Amino acid sequence: MNGAELPIWAACLVVLLTVTGAGFALVGALGLIRLKTFYERVHAPSLGATLGMALILCGSMLLLSLIEDRLVLRDALIGLFFTVTTPVTLLLLARTAAHRDRFEGNPDAPPEV
Amino acid sequence: MSRLLPHPLLSLALTLTWLLLNAPPTPGNVLLALAVGLAVPAVMRALEPRPVRLRAPSAIARLIGIFLYDMVRSNIDVARVVLNPRPCERRTGFITVPLELREPAGLTVLAVILTATPGTLWVQYDSDTGCLLLHVLDFTEDSDWEARIKDRYERPLLEIFAGVSA
C-alpha cells in the first residue's frame, strides 16, 4: 500500500494524532513567551518533548504500519531515547540557574537543600 | 547463567532494540540481534556497571499506568496554564521532598518521571540528606505535592528496586 491508497479513517486518525501532537508542541513554545520567570519557562518546552512527541510518534507508527503492511515499532525507540535524555538537559539548566541565582542573591533563588 | 549473561536486562534491551531497528525479524536478523545482545554486555563489563535488580512486576505495571495517566493530565494542565488569559491567579514555587529512595537507578527513573510530567521540575538532589528540591508550576489545585510524589512514585519505586534501601 502507498500513501494515496490509505483508507480515509486511517488518514483522519493519523492527521488527528500528528496535529494534536504538534499543537501541544506549539503551546509549549507559546509558554516560553507567556511565562515570566526562568523556572516557569523550563516547564513549557517539555509539553512538546512528552505528550506532543508521543502523539506525533503514534501517528507516524500507525502510518508506517499501514503503508508497510506490518507492525512498525521503530519510532518507539525515538520516544524511548528522547524520554531518557531530556532530563539530562533540563537538570543541567535548572542546576545552573539555581546556582547562579543563589550566587547573585536573587530574590527568587531556590532555597538551599 | 551469570557468566554468560552478566546483565540479562541489558542483553534483552539490546536484542529488542536491534530487532526493532532491523524489522522484519528474519532468521538472520534474529541471530545477529542475539549476538549483539550477548557480546556487548561482555564488553561493558570493563565499565563495571552496578547490577540493577528489578522486583515486583505488578509494581512496574502500576507505575507505568500512573506515569502515563499523570503525563497526559499534567500536559493538559500546563497547556491550560499557558493558554489561560489571566496569568496571575497561580501559585508557583519550590518544594523540598525528603526521599527514602537511595538506589541510583531508582532515582534516575524518578528524574525521568518528574521531567516527563510537565509542571514538575527536578532542580537539585542532595545525596547526603536525601532531599529533593522541586519546582512546581501550579499548586493551586491540590497543595500536597510532597505526599503525591511519595505515594504515587516513590513507593512503587521502592518496591521495584527493593533490597538496597534496607
Domain with B142 in it: 57-160
Q: Are residues B28 and B65 in the same domain?
A: no
Chain B residues closer than 8 Å to A73 by CB = 20, 23
CB-based contact A77 B83, cutoff 8 Å:
no
| C-alpha cell of residue B93 | 514555587
Answer yes or no: are the C-beta atoms of B71 and A82 closer than 8 Å.
Answer: no
Shortest CA gap B89–chain A (Å)? 13
pLDDT at residue A35 in the model? 86
CB-based contact B82 A34, cutoff 8 Å:
yes
Q: In which band, very low, low, confident or very high, does the pLDDT at A12 lie, cut at 50, 70 and 90? A: very high
Residue of B nearest to A108 (CA): B93
The tens digit of pLDDT for each residue in A13-30 reads 999 999 999 999 999 999
The tens digit of pLDDT for each residue in B78-101 reads 898 888 877 666 778 888 899 998
Q: Which of B149, B159, B165 has the alpha carbon at shortest distance from B97?
A: B149
Counting Cα atoms < 13 Å in the Cβ hemisphere of B49 gives: 16
Answer yes or no: are the C-beta atoms of B141 and B41 closer than 8 Å.
Answer: no
ipTM of the complex: 0.84
Q: A38 in contact with B at a CB cutoff of 8 Å? A: no
Q: Are residues B41 and B64 in the same domain?
A: no
For B52-73, what is the mean pLDDT? 89
Determine the Cα–Cα distance for residues B82 and A36; give it in Å rounded to an integer.
11
Q: B82 in contact with A at a CB cutoff of 8 Å? A: yes
Determine the Cα–Cα distance for residues B73 and A95; give it in Å rounded to an integer.
26
Q: Are residues B63 and B43 in the same domain?
A: no
Q: Are residues B61 and B140 in the same domain?
A: yes
Q: In which band, very low, low, confident or very high, does the pLDDT at A3 lie, cut at 50, 70 and 90? A: low
The tens digit of pLDDT for each residue in B3-54 reads 667 778 888 888 999 888 887 778 888 999 999 888 888 887 777 777 777 8
Q: Domain spans of chain A?
A: 8-104
For B143-162, what is the mean pLDDT? 86
Spatial neighbors of B76 by CB under 8 A, at least 6 apart, are none
Specify the number of domains making up chain B.
2
In a domain, B165, yes or no: no
pLDDT at residue A26 in the model? 95
A74 has pLDDT over 90: no
In a domain, B52, yes or no: no
- Report how far apart, in Å, the C-alpha atoms of B105 and of each of B34, B101, B108 are: 25, 10, 5
Q: Are residues B138 and B76 in the same domain?
A: yes
B164 has pLDDT over 60: no
Q: Are residues B98 and B136 in the same domain?
A: yes
Looking at residue B126, the DSSP 8-state letter turns out to be E
Shortest CA gap A8–chain B (Å)? 26
The tens digit of pLDDT for each residue in A25-68 reads 999 999 998 888 888 888 888 888 899 999 999 999 999 999 88
In a domain, B72, yes or no: yes
Q: Are residues B146 and B70 in the same domain?
A: yes
In a domain, B1, yes or no: no
